[in-house]
Structures are given as C-alpha cells and as structure tokens.
Amino acid sequence: MANHHIPYALLHGMNVPTSFINQEGSAFDFGELEEAIVLQGAKANLLTGRTAATLEMFPSWPMRYQQTPGSSKSGGESTDSGSALNTISSKTENQFEPDFPISKKASSSYHQAFDQQNLQLQQQQQQEMASDPSRTGTSLNQSAPIVKPLQEKKRASTSEKQLDAKTLRRLAQNKEAAKKSRLRKKAYVQQLESSRIKLTQLEQELQRARSQGLLLGSSGGGVGNISSGAVICDMEYARWLEDDERHMSELRTGLHSNLSDTDLRLMVNTYLSHYDEIFRLKGMAAKFDVFHLLTGMWTSPAERCFLWMGGFRPSELIKILISQLDPLTEQQLMGICSLQHSSQQAEEALSQGLEQLQQSLIDTVAGGPAIDGMQQMAIALSKLANLEGFVRQADNLRQQTLHQLPRILTVRQAARCFLVIGEYYGRLRALSSLWASRPRGRLMSDEQPCQTTTELQMVQPSQSHFSHF
Amino acid sequence: MYCEGDSWGCYLPMSLRSMGSDPMERVVKLASESAVVIFSVSSCCMCHAAKRLFCGMGVNPTVYELDQDPRGKEMEMALTTLLGNSQTVPIVFIGGKLIGAMDRVMASHINGSLVPLLKEAGALWL
C-alpha cells in the first residue's frame, strides 16, 4: 500500500485543522533529487522511467493535480521557469474547470484529494527541471522510494564537480527543505495509519450496532459504499454550515443594531456569495457522485424528506417567506408571488424532464429479448449521465431564486429572508438529530408498530444542529 | 393554448425550407421565422423540459429536432460555437434573438425577463 493516496482532505491535520487544503505541499525529497541532478547533469529519462514503473495510477478520476506555486525559491533565479510550471498547473486546472467557476477551497480539496499522479505533468516538470538546473522547490508528489535508488546510482559515479559557492549554498538550503519535508511526511503518514485504524474500528462498531438492530435501515447501501466524492462533499458541506452560522449571526446583529442600508446590503451580498459557494460545491459533487446529491444523502434526514431534485424546492421556500415577511407592499407582494409562480413553472418543467429520463432509463434497464446485456448497460450509463444536468439546472434555479429576492425586496427584508431560511433549515437539522437520538425503549414494542418501517440513521450531531435551539 | 401530448405546435420539416448554404445562416434564418424557436434533440430529456416549460406558460414553440435533420449535425456545431463549448441543446431563440441554453432560459424566467420577451415577440398574450 506504498502509494495509497488517501485524500488529504480526510486526514489533513498538518497545519490548519479546519482547512482541507494541504498548504505545505511537498512530501517529496526534492532537495536530494536536485542535488543529484546538478551533480550529474540531466538524466531525466532515467527518472521518468522509474517514475512510470513505480507509480500507481488510479484510473477513475480525471482530475489534474493542482500545484501550489513554488514553495522555496532560493536566490533570484527561476522566475521564468517558475512561471512555466505555473502555466502548466493553471493549464491543467483549466482543463478540468467545469462550466461554473469553482471556489478555490472546494476545488483544492477535490484536486488534492483525488491527486492521481499525472504522469505527463511530472515528466514535463522533470524535463523542465533537467533543462534548467537552477529550478527549485515545487510540490511534486512522488513516493520517496524512487529517489533513493536513483540517488545511490548517481552518487556512485560522481565525477569532477564544478560547483560554486552559490550552488553549494542553494543545495544546502534544499537539503534543509528536503529534511523538513521528510519529517512532515513521516508525521503525515503516521497520522494516516492511526486514522486508518480508527476508521476500521468505527466500521466494526457500526457493523455491530447494525446487527444488534440499533440501526434500522442502512445509509445508502452500507458504510463501505460511500464514495470518496460523497465524503468530500459532506465535509465541505459541514464546513459551509459552519460558515453559514457565522454569516447568520452577523446578519442578525446587523439587523438588530440598525445598520445603514448600505452596510446591510453589503452583508446581504456576502450572504449571497456564501450561497453561491454551496452551489459551486454541489456542482462539483454532481460530477463525482450525482446519486449522493439526488438521494439527499448529503443533507439531514428531515431535509431529505422534502427533497426535490437534490435540494430544496424554491417555490416551497418562497411560500415560507411570504408567510414570514409581513408587511409587504403591493408591489413587493406581486413580485414575490410572480417569483413563486415562475419557480413553480420551472420546477414543473424540470420534473417532467426528469420523469422522461427515468422512464427512458426504466425502459433500457428492463430491456428486452433483443438487447445484449453489455450494450444495455452502456446505454443505461449514458442515460444516467444526464442526471447531472438536471441536478445542475435545479441548483441553478435555486441560486437564481435566492438572487432574485434582494431585487424585489428592501434590503432589510432580504436580510430577514436569509435569516428565516437559515433558521428554518437549522431547525430541520436539529429535528433530524433529535429524532435520531430520541429514547426508544423497546425497539419492537407494541405501541409503536410503525418503528420498523422508519428509515433511521445515526446522525452525528454537530454544533450547528443545536445552534437554533 | 396548451400543448397536448406530443404535439408541440409546430414541427416544420426542414427539407422544405429554403436551404442556406452556411449552417449558421440557416440557424439564424430558422430562428427568425417564429416567435419562439427551440433547437432540440429528440432523445434529450432536458429539451423535453424546455418544451414543457414553454407549453406550461401557454406558448407554442417551434421545435427543430437536430437529430432528425440531415444537416442537423452542422447546425448543432454552429450553435455550439455561437454559445461556447459548454452549452448544449436545448437552445432557445425568442423573437429571433438568442436566449441561450436551459440555464439562461431558467435564469431569465426567474428574474422576470422571459415573459416580457415572449410578449414582445407576440408569443404570449395577456
């Protein structure tokens, strides 16, 4: 399991606990490698050959590796080659870039979590490094075993050195950096190991709990079947919820303290960007695991109950708002009602489109005597791919609806709207937690015959669940 | 006027229309001939959603199924270039003016600009 790349996001603990981004970057002994190259001249071919032989490729994710632009640069060199590397990284980033702009945070964690060595990229980099020996620190991700045998080989045949003081100093610095990298890597690997053990323990506990009937029903087909895309999605969502808490309390204070309209508008706009963030996140998640979104596994059970196409139903939300927003002027009431109406029409259209997709899928899967199994699956797969489009359009609808609110309402009313929405979902989440942890007495008691049909889930209550309580 | 079942109001056989040599020209020409034009693919469910949206509003869109036209592929490519690579059918024109793909259509419906456009193009009364 030498090259088992666990998502950084899952087990990150190196510097910033709440961030899913590995800020430090390199776990690779670059210093020693460069030293070897400088001493020997370019022999990149050997290196890439080794690289190809020893690195594992995980074929499932088409992600590109995101580079953190140059860590340690010594002296004043390497600006142009630095930019060359950054061009490569930005190019690969753009190759992946879907239609919506992704937040740096969410995309980084997806990039890093699914860093599957991009062999070409590394080969390019190594060519670059080889041709320009003054290049320094980048965050390559290779396993250390490659370097050592290479090094030994190089050291053995070290010949005449024409190194000046500058190069020597830089080499020393790199060695330092490399040592630090090694230590960090060691710490990280240890953390990985302990986390793996913890994970296995948790799974076993869960199994035991299930078999004892403490959990009725299952979470999406078993713990082992949660995709890593889903895990990342949930983690990013949890982080978003924490941000949401913060924004809401700011809004609340803003409203109570009679802030000026301009200041309040700023807050409202910030809150809107905060919402844009969740839609970007969902857009990413839809690419990796659309079922996770569609089945509502990313959200709490109570919210899941009222799920429409992977999220909230905009017209329902507006209904809630209308009841909470008195008094409204005639014009505002008309604006809101018209918004609700348009939303309903759009929802209806999307629902019918999805229905047609479902029907088409059913027909394919049900198959017929003439259809060959493999082909059937292939057709079904291509139809499934359309699901992402529907979730995206639904999210687009949600996003547009939220953006429309401050256009038809005063800024104070808009701020109140967002508070109402946030509190509403907070209560639903709290409800889910309470429901899951309510005392049950005898499980199959006579007085509660419907218990068995309820789909329950162990929900880990987070801080945000109880914040509105 | 609501659409019934599968009759979308107006399927014009494209072979009978005058042939523009350039697919983009053809697209533009077809787009300007009716108040609401949807370029679609018959198997595409999102296109179905778009059609449903307009029918639900009481509009009779003119639908061109690109997969059922011999020159449909070229037209589809022309449309893709027009909109940028990420955009795909359904693509909607109102009053000869390009609205865009599904997300633009939805966005303009939500922000209230779709209905005035439809009225202006004479596709919607009231």
Residue B14 confidence (pLDDT): 55
Taking the CB of residue A444, how many other CB atoms lie within 10 A of it? 9
Is A295 inside any structural domain?
Answer: yes
* Cβ separation B46–A343 shorter than 8 A: no
Look at the alpha carbons of A248, A252, A257, A260 in this order and tell me if their dihedral is positive or negative.
positive
Q: Stretch A133-154: mean pLDDT, rounded?
A: 46
Residue A128 confidence (pLDDT): 54
Is A261 inside any structural domain?
Answer: yes
Side-chain half-sphere of A119: how many Cα atoms within 13 Å?
Answer: 13
Choice between A121 and A275, residue whose per-residue pLDDT is larger: A275
Choice between A290 and A125, residue whose per-residue pLDDT is larger: A290
Residue A240 confidence (pLDDT): 95
Residue A362 confidence (pLDDT): 93
Count of structural domains, chain A: 1
Is A3 inside any structural domain?
Answer: no
Is A260 inside any structural domain?
Answer: yes
Residue A259 confidence (pLDDT): 86
Q: What average pLDDT does the structure give for chain A?
A: 72
Q: Stretch A386-395: mean pLDDT, rounded?
A: 95
Q: Stretch B108-121: mean pLDDT, rounded?
A: 95
Query: Does residue A339 sit at the B interface (CB-CB below 8 Å)?
Result: yes
pLDDT tens for A350-361 read: 999 999 999 999
Angle at A220 between CA A215 and CA A225, to 5 degrees: 110
Residue A75 confidence (pLDDT): 40
* Cβ separation A357–B45 shorter than 8 A: yes
* Cβ separation B106–A353 shorter than 8 A: no
Instruction: Specify the range with the lowest mean pLDDT, choosing from A142-156, A265-279, A331-345, B67-81.
Output: A142-156
* Cβ separation B110–A349 shorter than 8 A: no
Query: Does residue A71 sit at the B interface (CB-CB below 8 Å)?
Result: no
Query: What predicted TM-score, i.e. pTM, was given to this entire model?
Result: 0.61
Q: Mind telling me how many Å the CA of B79 is from chain A's nearest CA?
A: 17
Q: What is the 3-state secondary structure (H, E, C) of chain A?
A: CCCCCCCHHHHCCCCCCCCCCCCCCCCCCHHHHHHHHHHHCCCHHHHHHHHHHHCCCCCCCCCCCCCCCCCCCCCCCCHHHHHHHHHHHHHHHHHHCCCCCCCHHHHHHHHHHCCCCCHHHHHHHHHHHHHCCCCCCCCCCCCHHHHHHHHHHHHHCCCCCCCCHHHHHHHHHHHHHHHHHHHHHHHHHHHHHHHHHHHHHHHHHHHHHHHCCCCCCCCCCCHHHCCHHHHHHHHHHHHHHHHHHHHHHHHHHHHHCCCCHHHHHHHHHHHHHHHHHHHHHHHHHHHHCHHHHHCCCCCCHHHHHCCECCECCHHHHHHHHHHHCCCCCHHHHHHHHHHHHHHHHHHHHHHHHHHHHHHHHHHHHHCCCCCCHHHHHHHHHHHHCHHHHHHHHHHHHHHHHHHHHHHHCCHHHHHHHHHHHHHHHHHHHHHHHHHHHCCCCCCCCCCCHHHHHCCCCCCCCCHHHHCCC
* Cβ separation B110–A397 shorter than 8 A: yes
Residues of A in contact with B44 (CB under 8 A): 386
Q: Return d(Cα A130, Cα A66) in angstroms, integer.
A: 21
Taking the CB of residue B63, how many other CB atoms lie within 10 A of it? 22
Q: Stretch A235-247: mean pLDDT, rounded?
A: 93
Residue A45 confidence (pLDDT): 47
Instruction: Indicate whether A161 pLDDT > 90.
Output: no
Residues of A in contact with B103 (CB under 8 A): 392-393, 396
Residues above pLDDT 90, as percent of chain A: 41
Q: Stretch A289-309: mean pLDDT, rounded?
A: 92
Residue A317 confidence (pLDDT): 95
The ipTM is 0.87
Q: Stretch A340-354: mean pLDDT, rounded?
A: 97
pLDDT tens for B26-45 read: 999 999 999 999 999 999 99
Enter the tokens of residue B98: 């390009």
Residue with tokens 């229905």: A355
Which domains does chain B carry? 10-121 (3.40.30.10)
Residue B56 has its nearest CB partner, among A98, A348, A389, at A348
pLDDT tens for A167-187 read: 999 999 999 999 999 999 999
Residue A40 confidence (pLDDT): 63
pLDDT tens for A97-117 read: 444 444 455 555 555 544 544
Instruction: Indicate whether A429 pLDDT > 80.
Output: yes
The set of residues, in sequence order, having a beta carbon less than 8 Å from that of B99 and lying 6+ positions away, is B92, B93, B105, B108, B114, B117
Q: Cβ(B1)–Cβ(B60) under 8 Å?
A: yes
Instruction: Indicate whether A283 pLDDT > 90.
Output: yes
Q: Mind telling me how many Å the CA of B19 is from chain A's nearest CA?
A: 32
Confidence bin at A135 (pLDDT 50/70/90): very low
Residue A295 confidence (pLDDT): 93
Confidence bin at A270 (pLDDT 50/70/90): very high
Instruction: Indicate whether A148 pLDDT > 90.
Output: no
Residue A136 confidence (pLDDT): 44
Q: For an interface test with A, which of B44, B92, B103, B119 has the most A Cβ atoms less than 10 Å from its Cβ?
A: B103
Instruction: Indicate whether A2 pLDDT > 90.
Output: no
Q: For an interface test with A, which of B6, B52, B115 has the most A Cβ atoms less than 10 Å from its Cβ?
A: B52
pLDDT tens for B15-25 read: 545 555 788 89
β-partners of residue B100 are B92
Residue A314 confidence (pLDDT): 96
Is A291 inside any structural domain?
Answer: yes
pLDDT tens for A177-223 read: 999 999 999 999 999 988 888 888 888 778 777 766 655 444 544 44
Residue A205 confidence (pLDDT): 79
Q: Decide: residue A80, CB within 10 A, 0-12 exposed, 13-18 middle, 19+ buried.
A: exposed
Is A410 inside any structural domain?
Answer: yes
Q: For an interface test with B, which of A100, A272, A345, A351 has the most B Cβ atoms less than 10 Å from its Cβ?
A: A345
Residues of A in contact with B46 (CB under 8 A): 353, 386, 389-390, 393
pLDDT tens for A17-45 read: 444 444 444 445 555 666 666 566 545 44
Is A323 inside any structural domain?
Answer: yes
Q: Stretch A137-146: mean pLDDT, rounded?
A: 44
Q: Which of A441, A110, A85, A92 is nearest to A286 (CA)?
A: A110
Confidence bin at B125 (pLDDT 50/70/90): confident
pLDDT tens for B54-64 read: 999 999 999 99
Residue A268 confidence (pLDDT): 94
Is A398 inside any structural domain?
Answer: yes
Residue B45 has its nearest CB partner, among A339, A360, A401, at A360
Residue A29 confidence (pLDDT): 57
Instruction: Indicate whether A16 pLDDT > 90.
Output: no
Residue B82 confidence (pLDDT): 86
Domain membership of residue A404 as a residue range: 237-346+384-436
Q: Return d(Cα A387, Cα A401) in angstroms, integer.
A: 21
The per-residue DSSP string of chain B comes to ---BTTB-SB---GGGS---SSHHHHHHHHHHHSSEEEEE-TT-HHHHHHHHHHHHTT---EEEEGGGSTTHHHHHHHHHHHH-TT--S-EEEETTEEEESHHHHHHHHHTT-HHHHHHHTTS---
Confidence bin at B105 (pLDDT 50/70/90): very high
Instruction: Indicate whether A458 pLDDT > 60.
Output: no
Residue A198 confidence (pLDDT): 85
